[in-house]
A and B are shown apart, each in its own frame.
Chain A
Amino acid sequence: MTAKPDLIRDEGYKWGFYDEEEALFKANKGLTPEIINTISDIKEEPQWMREFRLRALEIFRQKQDPPWGTPQLKEIDFENIHYYVKATDRDERSWEDVPDYIRDTFDKLGIPEAEKKYLAGVGAQYDSEVVYHNIREDLAKQGVIFLGTDQALKEHEDVFKEHFGTIVPPADNRYAALNSAAWSGGSFIYVPKGVKVEIPLQAYFRINAKDMGQFERTLIIADEGSQVHYVEGCTAPTYSSDSLHSAVVEIIVKKGARVRYSTIQNWSNNVYNLVTKRAVAYQDAVMEWVDGNLGSKLTMKYPSVYLMEPGAHGEILSLAFAGKGQHQDAGGKIVHAASNTTSTIVSKSLSKDGGRTSYRGLLKVYDGCEGVRSTVRCDALLLDETSRSDTYPTMEIDAPDVHIQHEAYVSKLSEDQLFYLTSRGLTEDTAAKMIVNGFVEPIVKELPMEYAVELNRLIELQMEGAIG
């Protein structure tokens, strides 16, 4: 009998349930070369990957936290984390074959249903391993690959090795090093030349075990003229001790291709979410991040786009909502490394009940780049007096011929707006929700309808009791 883990009842968070089932394999706490070797053994990896991991572990041990990291980072106890928890042996292609209790979890989260209704493919990760991956047959026939990352390493080692770790090298930052050492799961997507995947592929990440670290690793390659929209969601039980989620996402958008990566991050409030996401976009390619951060205790995440060749366009739409005890340190980075590249960053953040949001952004234009255009707009809305928002925009502009617009606003929930709406018969609660929905609308409207509805619903849940 296992002791019942210390779950915290969080009335506002509906995804805090957990499964009691014993994991098939759970690494001891802490991260050592032995544990890395065990992970590599279990996964039956090629030698080069094992060496990659061990090198990354060395880097992790030497690296410090980023200088801007909040003191909260110091609270992470790296010795108290299981770096690998495997619930099941196999990455299945049919929900029927997924163990019942895990399938129940994803049923509760509505994933198989969504797959039937409006998705081109689904991946599901439970703790460290991907338990399900499937893609519509017509897309598979066109050569689209959508696999768990471990599976992809087995089945497509050449293309994997060519790109893996090239966009976010292990030495990029401390958490990228950690992920590179301990990575497990994530999605691998390859879209062949000219193939357009019209409806989204989705991955869902679930942490179930207590004191667990999830380190998924995603690699997306959109070949010339192709198109894909990838959506990820995530939840976890609300334990009294902290969990760590540290992912790395690498995306390559080749000439004329288009990738959109949308995130609805809804971790429970005991999860540290420290993620490195980066894309490179080549000639006339378009990369778009739609990054919604609602959950977690601390999120530090700045999706970035490197515009490598003329005509490339990068777009980052960032939405953050920090409630009680939460800090959303989010934003985005755009690097213009070629002439005639364009970019847009729109950040919308909401803080309530003492929650804190920070916008942290970088806009860099390399010397010699001409005709660069960029717009950055950050809006922060404070829902009460105790909440906080900061903006840390960095601009490194080394070229003369650039057109850059930058605006940042922090505002409070407006009494005038509230009065106007209530004077028409709406309660103050409804009015506040309406104002907030309107505030985030420029970002929400970019999502497919089902996700827009979901995001609005999550925001309303966060808003509950915000006023009064």
Chain B
Amino acid sequence: MPLLEIRNLHAKVAETGAEILRGVDLTVSEGEVHAIMGPNGSGKSTLSQVIAGNEAYEVTGGDILFRGKSILDAEPEERAREGLFLAFQYPVEIPGVSNTYFLKAALNAVRKHRGEEELDAVDFLALVREKTKILHLNESLLSRAVNEGFSGGEKKRNEIFQMAVLDPKLAVLDETDSGLDIDALRTVAEGVNALLSPEMGLLLITHYQRLLNYIKPQFVHVLMDGRIVRSGGPDLAEELEATGYDSIVPAVAGS
């Protein structure tokens, strides 16, 4: 069953009116891992933010369906509660708010929506312990303020940690690999792989092929200038690694 269907999606920056997405089509079904690659500035983060419902962008055409229903009118929290998760390229710092306090509130909001019982402090802590182990996350990060003073790598791990706790149906990972050294990349990738299930979908956004050595996508798409210009299997990523994005450009220009 398709989890996420993006149909001819157009979006612009609300404030400036600059058009960024110019007709994106993409379908991610349960159990599938998709990668979106593309040069800087091609609109990858914009796409992920629009999927998550950031109002800084205005959808001017097309549709996004999540589990068969349009979510264009849904608030970000409704999308999250339905099982959508975005790991931010640039996670935001929330000074003074403890990581666990925030995550417990978020998890219970999601659980309540799912008709599950809210977790008390004890059960939540048990869950958190389990997930920090999988991700080799330093437990001291839990009591610190959300992302505040975290290193680049710690922020990225914290995103995946949140994903592990919130247990989404579809996760969009926006350049989770950038800022991670090779060891950190491996643990994060292992963590993500451990979370994958036949019911879950994953959309990996990345600039480099590196991440895809650890998390294997079945589908690879190239986003350029706000459009998916090529789609293929894992070999497309390797081809890009060898030839670079430049080789794609003429094909678009000439089409």
Check A419 against B94 for contact (C-beta < 8 Å): no
Partner of B55 from A419, A421, A425 at Cβ < 8 Å: A419
Q: In the complex, how many angstroms separate the beta carbon of A413 from the nearest chain B beta carbon?
A: 12
Select the stretch in A115-123, A399-407, A431-439 that faces chain B. A431-439
Check A441 against B86 for contact (C-beta < 8 Å): no
Distance in angstroms between the alpha carbons of A441 and B54 in the assembled complex: 27
Check A427 against B77 for contact (C-beta < 8 Å): yes
Question: Residue B81 at the A interface, CB < 8 A?
Answer: yes
Question: Residue A415 at the B interface, CB < 8 A?
Answer: yes
Select the stretch in B17-25, B105-113, B127-135 that faces chain A. B105-113
Q: Which residues of B contact A425 (CB under 8 A)?
A: 77, 80-81, 106-107, 109-110, 113, 166
Question: Residue B92 at the A interface, CB < 8 A?
Answer: yes
Check A424 against B106 for contact (C-beta < 8 Å): yes
Q: Which residues of A contact B109 (CB under 8 A)?
A: 425-427, 430
Q: Which residues of B contact A420 (CB under 8 A)?
A: 88, 91-92, 94
A386-409 vs B, CB cutoff 8 Å, 1 = contact: the mask equals: 000000000000000000000000
Q: In the complex, how many angstroms separate the beta carbon of A344 from the nearest chain B beta carbon?
A: 17
Distance in angstroms between the alpha carbons of A426 and B103 in the assembled complex: 10
Question: Residue B56 at the A interface, CB < 8 A?
Answer: yes
Check A426 against B106 for contact (C-beta < 8 Å): yes
Check A424 against B80 for contact (C-beta < 8 Å): yes
Q: Which residues of A contact B80 (CB under 8 A)?
A: 422-425
Q: In the complex, how many angstroms separate the beta carbon of B101 from the nearest chain A beta carbon?
A: 8
Q: In the complex, how many angstroms separate the beta carbon of B84 from the nearest chain A beta carbon?
A: 8
Question: Residue A442 at the B interface, CB < 8 A?
Answer: yes
Check A422 against B105 for contact (C-beta < 8 Å): no
Report the nearest B residue to A422, measured CB to CB: B76
Check B75 against A417 for contact (C-beta < 8 Å): no
B52-68 vs A, CB cutoff 8 Å, 1 = contact: the mask equals: 11111000000000000
Report the nearest A residue to B77, measured CB to CB: A422
Check A423 against B86 for contact (C-beta < 8 Å): yes
Question: Residue A251 at the B interface, CB < 8 A?
Answer: no
Q: Which residues of A contact B106 (CB under 8 A)?
A: 421, 424-426
Check A438 against B75 for contact (C-beta < 8 Å): no
Partner of A421 from B81, B94, B96, B145 at Cβ < 8 Å: B94
Which chain B residues numbered 18 to 52 have a C-beta less than 8 Å away from chain A?
A: 52
Question: Residue A75 at the B interface, CB < 8 A?
Answer: no
Question: Residue A440 at the B interface, CB < 8 A?
Answer: yes
Q: In the complex, how many angstroms separate the beta carbon of A447 from the nearest chain B beta carbon?
A: 14
Q: In the complex, how many angstroms separate the beta carbon of A364 from the nearest chain B beta carbon?
A: 30
Distance in angstroms between the alpha carbons of A434 and B162 in the assembled complex: 17
Report the nearest A residue to B80, measured CB to CB: A425
Check B97 against A435 for contact (C-beta < 8 Å): yes
Question: Residue A416 at the B interface, CB < 8 A?
Answer: yes
Report the nearest B residue to A435, measured CB to CB: B94
Q: In the complex, how many angstroms separate the beta carbon of B162 from the nearest chain A beta carbon?
A: 7
Q: Which residues of A contact B54 (CB under 8 A)?
A: 419, 423
Q: Which residues of A contact B162 (CB under 8 A)?
A: 424
Partner of A417 from B94, B110, B113 at Cβ < 8 Å: B94
Check A426 against B105 for contact (C-beta < 8 Å): yes
Distance in angstroms between the alpha carbons of A434 and B105 in the assembled complex: 10
Q: In the complex, how many angstroms separate the beta carbon of A395 from the nearest chain B beta carbon?
A: 26
Check B102 against A434 for contact (C-beta < 8 Å): yes
Distance in angstroms between the alpha carbons of A416 and B107 in the assembled complex: 20
Distance in angstroms between the alpha carbons of A434 and B88 in the assembled complex: 19
Question: Residue B233 at the A interface, CB < 8 A?
Answer: no
Distance in angstroms between the alpha carbons of A419 and B88 in the assembled complex: 11
Distance in angstroms between the alpha carbons of A441 and B145 in the assembled complex: 10
Distance in angstroms between the alpha carbons of A422 and B86 in the assembled complex: 11
B77, B93, B109, B166 — most chain A CB neighbours (10 Å): B77
Which chain A residues numbered 142 to 157 have a C-beta less than 8 Å away from chain B?
A: none
Check A434 against B94 for contact (C-beta < 8 Å): yes
Report the nearest A residue to B75, measured CB to CB: A422
Report the nearest A residue to B92, measured CB to CB: A420
Question: Residue B2 at the A interface, CB < 8 A?
Answer: no
Report the nearest A residue to B84, measured CB to CB: A423
Q: Which residues of A contact B56 (CB under 8 A)?
A: 415, 419
Distance in angstroms between the alpha carbons of A423 and B76 in the assembled complex: 5
User: Which residues of B are at the interface with A, using a C-beta cutoff of 8 A?
Assistant: 52-56, 75-77, 79-81, 86, 88, 91-97, 102-103, 105-107, 109-110, 113, 145, 162, 166
CB pairs A–B below 8 angstroms (14 shown): A415-B55, A416-B92, A419-B56, A423-B52, A425-B80, A425-B81, A425-B107, A427-B77, A434-B102, A437-B96, A437-B97, A438-B94, A438-B96, A441-B95
The 3 closest A-B pairs by CB, nearest first: A438-B96, A441-B96, A438-B97
User: Which residues of A are at the interface with B, using a C-beta cutoff of 8 A?
Assistant: 414-417, 419-428, 430, 434-435, 437-442
- Given A417-B94, A424-B77, A441-B97; 16 other pairs, CB 8 A cutoff: A417-B92, A419-B54, A419-B92, A420-B88, A420-B91, A423-B52, A423-B80, A423-B86, A424-B102, A424-B103, A424-B106, A425-B106, A425-B113, A426-B106, A438-B94, A442-B96
